Structure 1
Amino acid sequence: MRIIGLTGGIACGKSTVSQELHARGAVIIDADALAHELSRPGQSVYNAYVERFGSTVVAADGTLDRAAVARLIFVDPTLRAEIERIVHPLIRAAAEERLQAARAADERAAVLDVPLLFEAGWDTIADETWVVALPPEEQLARLLARDKSMDEGEARARIAAQMPLAEKCARADVVIDNSVTKKEMREYIGKLWRERIGEGS
């Protein structure tokens, strides 16, 4: 089974690429989705946040207030690093369980869809890494269009909180330019799939 580590800058279109790979038969292991699952009351990530921050990150209905968590960690790099040291291993353990299940099912390919693939060291469990990229100003414009509640300063802070996109591209085995048309993107993903995974479309 081929393991692809998929990442990219925020709002660069990683989810679009992930969907294209899924349509071709890849098992998608989405770190954000796993984080959501583990953030439900009583689950490991939920418990870690409540232990660290107390009731300030718990919504009125008892669920995790993810917006409150984001506000805390995105303005404080030291705190963000502390939380990542706690939370990332919990999510990674869940991802590795999914990989084992995919391998046992004799799947051809699994995609680790991880925003902080390099930052969290997940690239070490992938056979190859793919980065979805955009020119900086287009990335900023897409982020602002996606999240209307965010002002430009917040958007730039979110982008700056990640490893520079140029560095991700330099470390990647494959760089996918998402400034092309959807048709061109689909064709390119198909070409990559045939060359690197083989079989099918």
Structure 2
Amino acid sequence: MGTMKKRPVLIGLTGNIACGKSTVARMLAEMGAAVIDADAVAHAVIRKGTPTYEAIVRRFGPEILGPDGEIDRRRLGDRVFRDPAALRDLEAIVHPAVLAAIQERLAAGVEAPAVVIEAIKLIESGFARACDTLWVVTCPEREQVRRLMAERGLSEEEAWVRIRAQPPPEEKIRLADEVIDNGGDLEATRRQVEAAWRRRVGDP
């Protein structure tokens, strides 16, 4: 009789904007995890021609489109980050499509000791409940502002609008199995990630 293949450990990885989820996800990938980036999945499900695209344009109007007819994420972001009701509407359209795409990928089978689902709205979308372990990446707010300005070209005001549009990190930390503090240097972050991996997955 063949031995049962061990199911990968499903790690939910979240944290507020510009805290360094992608940095931690990269480290986990180097340790052998398969990483599913929910933001990249969201890009795919809102492409022109998809039902999600049609629903977003119906709700927000053609002014959120770029010259190529695709959704301009910056224009859409400017709309929803200043209007909590609009943000909720957008999430109600996008989350189910993203979750369905992720579940499809998991159902196809993944050869890895762990699968990381990296998502800013992992908890709010309800998908954290399906994960075996929830990891939250944190860093000081002033560092988030610096990174948003440096890496995304936002003004300081735009950076604060995006940070304030999110729930306080304490809400995520309260639910976390592992908290990775990414406010220091990369080596310090790596040591925390390796220790968490040993606790939750086993020896790398």
- Per the normalisation by structure 1, the TM-score is 0.91
CA distance in 2, matches of 1:39, 1:157: 23
Aligned twin of 1:154? 158
Alignment match, 1:164:
168
User: Does 2:116 align with 1:111?
Assistant: yes
- AA in 2 matched with 1:87: V
Post-superposition offset of 1:111: 0.7
Cα offsets for 1:39-74 (capped at 9, x unmatched): 221123322212222321222222222122111111
| Aligned match for 1:29, one of 36, 54, 75 | 36
Give yes or no for contact 1:35–1:45 (8 Å, CA) kept in 2: no
Alpha-carbon distance between aligned partners in 2 of 1:118 and 1:138, rounded to the nearest angstrom:
23
Q: Partner of 1:63 in structure 2?
A: 70
- Aligned-partner Cα distance in 2 for 1:59–1:152: 24
Paired AA for residue 160 in structure 1: R
Aligned length: 197
- Partner deviation per Cα, 1:120-158 (whole Å, 9 max, x = no partner): 22211111110110122222222222222x222221110
Among 31, 42, 50, the residue aligned to 2:49 = 42
Quote the sequence identity (%).
43
Residue-by-residue CA offset, 1:135-189 (whole Å, 9 max, x unaligned): 22222222222222x2222211101111111221121111001122212222221
Q: Aligned-pair distance for 1:77? A: 0.6
Query: Mind listing any 5+ residue stretches in structure 2 that lack a counterpart?
Result: 1-7
Q: Which stretches in structure 1 are left out of the alignment for 5+ residues?
A: none
Partner of 1:89: 96
Aligned-residue Cα RMSD (Å) equals 1.5
Q: TM-score, normalised by structure 2?
A: 0.90
| Structure 1 residue aligned with 2:3 | none
Contact 2:66 2:72 in 1 (8 A): yes
